Amino acid sequence: MKENKFNEIVKEILIPVIDDMAEAASNPVGDEIGKEFKEIIEESKKNILDDYNISKEDFKKKFMKGGNENSVIDRHKVAALFYVNFVDFVKKNYRANDIDDLLKDLFLHNVAFNAAVAIIESFICANNEESAGFRLHVKDKGIVGKIDRYRDYTIKELVFAHNENKLSVFLLANIFYSIERNSKAEYGQSF
């Protein structure tokens, strides 16, 4: 990923998602976690981007035919790679304070999930091969739709998987693919 694209993701997706999560928590703990994560991101943008790019190239070599720099990774795997690298990096850089790490983990995975979904949505909205109606649907309503309870359980399981070193790009890519597929079905379009 190019640095300007990454900076755009940080500015237009990641920071607003963190702010929304902190505001939704409506308590000082949410504000403090949000502030901590923004500081980690601001101090380490280049390192986060470098980690992502290294992981992307490793992924291509291991799992894609040819694995050369011109190989294209689909949007679900791009979002999944971003998610995994982001949570790994931020968690390694948690600040020592009185906030329970499990609360930070839940906040972190919510931020990563929302940011990954927003990345997929931006891919869809920029893809002229998608129907104009579906792109407008995604722009107005997003792809998550009516999965709030499912989403909460999924994020808890993702926290557990991450803490057990079992969080995988393929697992996340399949979750994101299923969410997009459900959104298309909700819209009335076949996948």
How far is the C-alpha of 2 from the C-alpha of 84, rounded, in Å?
A: 18
> Mean pLDDT of all residues in the chain?
86
Mean pLDDT of 111-133: 90
Give CA–CA dist 99/80, Å, rounded: 27
pLDDT value at residue 70 = 66
Q: State the alpha helices, DSSP H only, in the chain.
A: 3-9, 15-25, 28-63, 75-92, 101-126, 132-141, 148-163, 169-187
In degrees, to the nearest 5, what angle opens at C-alpha 18 toward C-alphas 15 and 149?
A: 135
Tokens of 99: 């906030």
Give residues with Cβ within 8 angstroms of 45, minimum separation 6.
6, 7, 10
Number of domains observed in the structure of the chain: 1
Identify the CA nearest to 110 among candidates 47, 180, 158: 158
Mean of the pLDDT values across residues 60-66?
Answer: 77
Q: Report residue 69 as tokens.
A: 């720099």
What is the pLDDT averaged over residues 74-78? 91
pLDDT value at residue 143: 82
In this prediction the pTM is 0.87
Residue 150 belongs to domain spanning? 3-187
